[in-house]
Amino acid sequence: MKLSDIVSYDEKKLVGFHLQCPGCNRVHTIFIASHEKPRWDWNGDREKPTFSPSILVQQDWGPNHEKRICHSFIRDGQWQFLGDCTHELKGKTVDMVDVPEDYW
Protein backbone atom coordinates (compact mmCIF):
# COMPACT_ATOMS: atom_id res chain seq x y z
CA MET A 1 0.00 0.00 0.00
CA LYS A 2 1.56 3.32 -1.10
CA LEU A 3 -0.26 5.33 1.56
CA SER A 4 -0.97 4.03 5.01
CA ASP A 5 -4.50 4.04 6.28
CA ILE A 6 -5.38 7.51 7.48
CA VAL A 7 -3.55 8.20 10.71
CA SER A 8 -5.53 10.17 13.27
CA TYR A 9 -4.30 11.62 16.53
CA ASP A 10 -7.64 12.81 17.88
CA GLU A 11 -6.34 14.57 20.96
CA LYS A 12 -4.31 16.90 18.74
CA LYS A 13 -6.70 16.93 15.77
CA LEU A 14 -4.00 15.62 13.45
CA VAL A 15 -4.89 13.58 10.37
CA GLY A 16 -2.37 12.27 7.87
CA PHE A 17 -0.56 9.41 6.19
CA HIS A 18 2.65 7.46 6.65
CA LEU A 19 4.72 7.20 3.46
CA GLN A 20 7.78 5.02 2.87
CA CYS A 21 10.54 7.19 1.46
CA PRO A 22 12.69 5.26 -1.03
CA GLY A 23 15.52 7.78 -0.63
CA CYS A 24 15.82 7.62 3.16
CA ASN A 25 14.41 4.11 3.47
CA ARG A 26 12.37 5.50 6.35
CA VAL A 27 8.73 6.38 6.91
CA HIS A 28 7.74 10.06 6.71
CA THR A 29 4.40 11.34 8.00
CA ILE A 30 2.35 13.86 6.03
CA PHE A 31 -0.43 15.73 7.84
CA ILE A 32 -3.42 16.81 5.75
CA ALA A 33 -5.35 18.26 8.71
CA SER A 34 -3.62 19.87 11.61
CA HIS A 35 -3.89 22.77 14.00
CA GLU A 36 -0.38 22.46 15.42
CA LYS A 37 1.93 21.16 12.69
CA PRO A 38 2.60 22.00 9.04
CA ARG A 39 -0.20 20.81 6.77
CA TRP A 40 -0.07 19.56 3.20
CA ASP A 41 -2.71 19.75 0.50
CA TRP A 42 -3.65 16.38 -0.98
CA ASN A 43 -5.41 15.65 -4.28
CA GLY A 44 -7.53 12.87 -2.69
CA ASP A 45 -6.08 10.16 -4.94
CA ARG A 46 -4.76 7.15 -3.00
CA GLU A 47 -3.25 5.49 -6.09
CA LYS A 48 -1.40 8.51 -7.51
CA PRO A 49 -1.29 11.03 -4.69
CA THR A 50 -0.01 14.57 -5.01
CA PHE A 51 0.94 16.54 -1.91
CA SER A 52 2.00 20.16 -1.72
CA PRO A 53 4.06 22.00 -0.71
CA SER A 54 7.36 20.13 -0.71
CA ILE A 55 8.35 17.72 2.06
CA LEU A 56 11.52 18.64 3.92
CA VAL A 57 12.97 16.24 6.48
CA GLN A 58 16.20 17.22 8.25
CA GLN A 59 17.77 15.01 10.88
CA ASP A 60 21.02 14.33 12.64
CA TRP A 61 22.13 10.75 12.06
CA GLY A 62 24.49 8.42 13.85
CA PRO A 63 27.01 8.97 16.63
CA ASN A 64 28.66 11.90 14.82
CA HIS A 65 25.29 13.64 14.26
CA GLU A 66 25.75 13.71 10.50
CA LYS A 67 23.22 16.12 8.94
CA ARG A 68 20.85 14.33 6.55
CA ILE A 69 18.36 16.10 4.32
CA CYS A 70 15.47 14.68 2.31
CA HIS A 71 13.63 17.31 0.27
CA SER A 72 11.01 16.21 -2.21
CA PHE A 73 7.67 16.62 -3.88
CA ILE A 74 5.16 13.82 -4.33
CA ARG A 75 3.30 14.30 -7.60
CA ASP A 76 1.06 11.80 -9.37
CA GLY A 77 2.35 8.95 -7.23
CA GLN A 78 6.03 9.70 -7.76
CA TRP A 79 8.70 11.04 -5.42
CA GLN A 80 10.60 13.92 -7.01
CA PHE A 81 13.79 14.37 -4.98
CA LEU A 82 15.35 17.81 -5.04
CA GLY A 83 19.02 18.74 -5.39
CA ASP A 84 19.61 19.42 -1.70
CA CYS A 85 18.97 15.80 -0.67
CA THR A 86 21.91 14.01 0.91
CA HIS A 87 20.88 10.51 -0.23
CA GLU A 88 21.47 8.62 -3.48
CA LEU A 89 18.12 9.60 -5.07
CA LYS A 90 19.07 13.29 -5.11
CA GLY A 91 17.73 14.88 -8.32
CA LYS A 92 15.81 11.74 -9.36
CA THR A 93 12.12 10.90 -9.79
CA VAL A 94 10.95 7.44 -8.74
CA ASP A 95 7.67 5.63 -8.12
CA MET A 96 6.28 5.52 -4.60
CA VAL A 97 6.94 2.32 -2.68
CA ASP A 98 4.71 0.46 -0.27
CA VAL A 99 4.71 1.31 3.43
CA PRO A 100 5.93 -1.78 5.31
CA GLU A 101 2.96 -3.70 6.71
CA ASP A 102 4.72 -4.08 10.04
CA TYR A 103 5.09 -0.30 10.40
CA TRP A 104 1.72 0.05 12.08
Residue 63 is classified by DSSP as T
Q: Which of 31, 42, 20 is nearest to 89 (CA)?
A: 20
The answer, as to whether pTM is greater than 0.85, is no
In the chain, domain spans: 7-103
Q: Which amino acid is at 80?
A: Q
CB atoms within 10 A of CB 74: 25
Query: 75-94, pLDDT tens digit by residue?
Result: 999 999 999 999 999 999 99
Residue 44 is classified by DSSP as S
Query: 54-72, pLDDT tens digit by residue?
Result: 999 998 877 888 889 999 9
